[in-house]
Structures are given as structure tokens and as C-alpha cells.
Amino acid sequence: MTERVAMMGPATTRRPVLRIEGNQADWIIDEVVTELPLTLIVNEVEVATLVTTPGDLEDLVFGFLVAEQVVPGADAIRSLDFDAEGQAVRVTADAAVEDAGARMFQRRYVTSCCGKGRASIYFESDAAALRPVAGGQKVSAQTALELLLRLQQRSDIFRRTGGVHNVALADTAGEVLAVRADIGRHNALDKLYGHCLRQNIATSNLMAVLSGRISSEILLKAAKLGLPLVLSKSAPTELALALAEDIGITVIGFARQGRLNVYTHPERITV
């Protein structure tokens, strides 16, 4: 496969800011995160425009196109060609994408997930792609807490700007395998997914470690990766938990200050 590397510019920029603290006002130079609108054009069909943080754009393209079923798999992607500013990428793929744009914006509908009989809300394409997540190695509560600390230690852009979400891919022994940052949690997960696809990394015994809340969209992304565990220092939503219960994913939230909550499938967690 051929790629032309994106000329995407820096992930952060510096600008003057008036900082007021108490009765004191001073001009300082602050660092802020940048945003990039990236338009995906697959076989000359404009599929979507993603607002993203520059960096790991090749991973993002792979992860997004496969996760959203624009292409059937990573092997179908033949080439990526970014424009000079990194604001558009032309993808050549072995896939019919005439209806891709319409599929991206289907209305949600109510269905029963994985034969369990629970009514849940999905995009039609999500429902077709979801499979129960079985197996997965156990992880100790202490390891889960340590992973959040390790994610924080590797969140350089967040420390400098406070403007991005970070997602790590980790194993149950506590090793962080990869970290991706983006202004959107879903983009960060797509970047991790693309990394796994491009490097042929099996995910059936791995976990996602998040800096933000676990929404239904994030849970669906994790399910498409086949991840049996999702861990965050923040809260899950009720729909995310309903999906996790049905699909078979262990959700851990509020992992901080020496404690955590196990919301679904606690059999994978040891004390």
C-alpha cells in the first residue's frame, strides 16, 4: 500500500492570553491545542469530514473507515494520498462506497442486541456489525488503577493544553502498548483501532483506558475493536452500560484515588 505522509502542522500552537488571578492581570503566552478538518474521499466519493487533532492521521483514516464499515477491512485500503495541508485525504479502496455518505447518517432505530431481547438504540450499520465479546483475561483492580496513572504520565499534550482526550491500549498485566490523543474521544479510539489494523495487533485480551466518560458511542467503538474491557477515571452512561451488558464488555469507571466501580461483567476483575 502506498501512503503520502500528511503535512498536518503542529498539534499545538502558542498565543497571547490575558490571565487574571485575583486582582492581578498579566499577559502570558499560553499553549492551546489545534484542530484540523480532515475530509475523507474514498474512490472519489466524499464520505465525511472529521474535526481532529493533527497527528496519527493515517491511523485515524484506517480506524474510521473500517469501524464505520465504509470499507470491509484494512486489506481493502490500497493507498492514502493527503493534500499538502493535511485537510483532505484521497483513499483508493477495493470497496463500493457510493452509498457511504448516506450510511454514515442513518437514523437510529430500536432493536434487540445479540439475541438478548433487550431493546437498545443503534445505527443500523452498528447493529449489523456487533458481535458478543467473549473471553478476555482477568485484570486486578490494582493494575486497573495503575493503568490510569500510566495514561496520565503519557498524556503530554493534555498536560500542556488541557484540550485533548487520551486513550491507551493496554494489556491486563499493566503494560501500555499505545496511546493516542485527540479533541474527540471517538477519534482517539479510531486512531488506536487504525494502529491495531496496520500493525496486526490482536485485541481479544486487551483493554481501552480512557481519560473521559464512557458514552454509548465509545462503547460501540470498543466493541468493534473486540476489546473485552473498558476502563476510565470518569463515568459511564446508562446506554453504554446496557450495551456493555448485552455485548459482554466489562466496564470500569471512576478509577481514581484508590477505588473503582465495576459496572458490568465483574467476572474479569480480581481484588
Number of residues written out for the chain? 271
Backbone φ and ψ for 177, nearest 5 degrees, come out as: -90, -30
Instruction: Tell me, yes or no, if 114 is annotated catalytic.
Output: yes
Question: What whole-number distance in Å separates Cα of residue 5 and Cα of residue 80?
Answer: 8
**Identity of residue 189:** L
Query: Quick one: 176 exposed, middle or buried, by C-beta within 10 A (0-12, 13-18, 19+)?
Result: middle
Set 40, 50, 77, 114: catalytic member: 114
Question: What is the three-state SS of 217-256?
Answer: HHHHHHHHHCCCEEEECCCECHHHHHHHHHHCCEEEEEEE
- Bridging pattern class, strands 206-210 and 165-171: antiparallel
Catalytic residues: 114
